[in-house]
Amino acid sequence: MDYLLLVVGLGMLLVAADLLVDSSVAIAQRARISNFIIGLTIVGMGTSAPELFVSISSALSGSGDIAVGNVLGSNICNTFLILGVAAAIMPFAIERETQRRDIPVGIFAALVFMALANDSIIPGISENTISRIDGIFLLLIFIGYMCYVVIIKGRNPQQAIEDANEQSQSRFTGKHPALLWGIAVVSLAGLIFGGNLFLDSAKNLARAWGMSEAVISITIVAIGTSLPELITVAVAACKKNAALALGNVLGSNVFNMLMIVGLSSTIKPITVVSVTALDFFMALLGAILTYVVIFTFGKHKFDRIEGFIFIALYIGYTIFLLMR
């Protein structure tokens, strides 16, 4: 039964992701908003819903390591595996505004998250805790960033025209806005439900194979909650909607660190015990390397070879986790 549910969950993810990409592009075209902004906000936050559910539930149950580890693992997966897969499928250019604003914000968010979760580096403090004040601070940063992106930079008619000219048309282009938003909402629900179905069946199979709970939470939970992003980005890359793919990854990472951790720790302070400094460093390294690729090989572009390097780094890190 678990094998069957695994296949059904994956099928739901594929269908829902395909509908989400097409409906999001159509919404962007009709509202004259760039595909990148749609990916950064609607798709990015929507596909992070599994992480939100897992982290809040873990925080409420007192499992702080799962809450933080899920976010870190998902961000590492998003950057190295998902962005790597997108570039390997279809190399894409990185817009100058993204280089100057959105990638640096991701690096800043990773630095702030790392600092707030490692209180023990301060003399006299032995416990790593993300307090309610820390959570509120993260939420304020997130709200400020979203307001800046959507209100100040979101409406860009010229970019929307360029998107329409350069990228493949959506099957829903010209449809009524209510239908488009309805398809987007149903698709997000399908991604969440399909992701949970896949994740639960994978966890059951992992236990049957003799994997420990710690290994399951570090690998399968993080990868499972990132499946909506992986499927959505792969479909977007195949449809040559690179801006949507990149926006989805950057939006999901910022949403995970600022919104999810901020909300979870505001509801209940999170104590971090076994998540190591290396795990935080890998999330930060991913954000930094996303900026580095601007200057390596093809400048201002995420090349296929860089995509394979990112995938190799993720595989190496996962092997290290399993050995640890």
Lowest mean pLDDT among 15-24, 64-73, 224-233, 255-264: 224-233
Residue 153: DSSP 8-state: S
Query: Binning pLDDT at 50, 70 and 90, where does residue 45 land?
Result: low
Average pLDDT, integer, range 136-148:
90
Query: Binning pLDDT at 50, 70 and 90, where does residue 160 land?
Result: very low
In angstroms, rounded to a whole number, what is the distance separating the alpha carbons of residues 317 and 281? 12
Q: Where are the beta strands (DSSP E) in the chain?
A: 92-93, 128-130, 270-272, 301-302
User: What one-letter code names the amino acid at 178?
Assistant: A
Higher pLDDT, 226 or 40: 226
pLDDT at 164: 44
- The share of the chain scoring above pLDDT 70, in percent, equals 75
Nearest CA among 210, 221, 218, 206 for reference residue 274:
218
pLDDT at 111: 94
In angstroms, rounded to a whole number, what is the distance separating the alpha carbons of residues 56 and 70? 11
Read off the pLDDT of residues 82-115 as tens digits, 9 standing for 90 and up: 888 888 888 877 877 778 888 899 999 999 999 9
- Residue 35 pLDDT exceeds 70: no
- Residue 163 pLDDT exceeds 50: no
Read off the pLDDT of residues 165-210 as tens digits, 9 standing for 90 and up: 444 456 787 788 889 889 888 887 887 787 677 767 766 776 777 7
Average pLDDT, integer, range 223-250:
72
Lowest mean pLDDT among 30-44, 102-116, 149-163, 229-243: 149-163
- Residue 311 pLDDT exceeds 90: yes
Given a contact cutoff of 8 angstroms between Cβ atoms, the answer to whether 280 and 112 are in contact is: no
- Residue 223 pLDDT exceeds 50: yes
Query: Binning pLDDT at 50, 70 and 90, where does residue 162 land?
Result: low
**Predicted model pTM:** 0.73
Average pLDDT, integer, range 209-217:
61
In angstroms, rounded to a whole number, what is the distance separating the alpha carbons of residues 120 and 277? 11
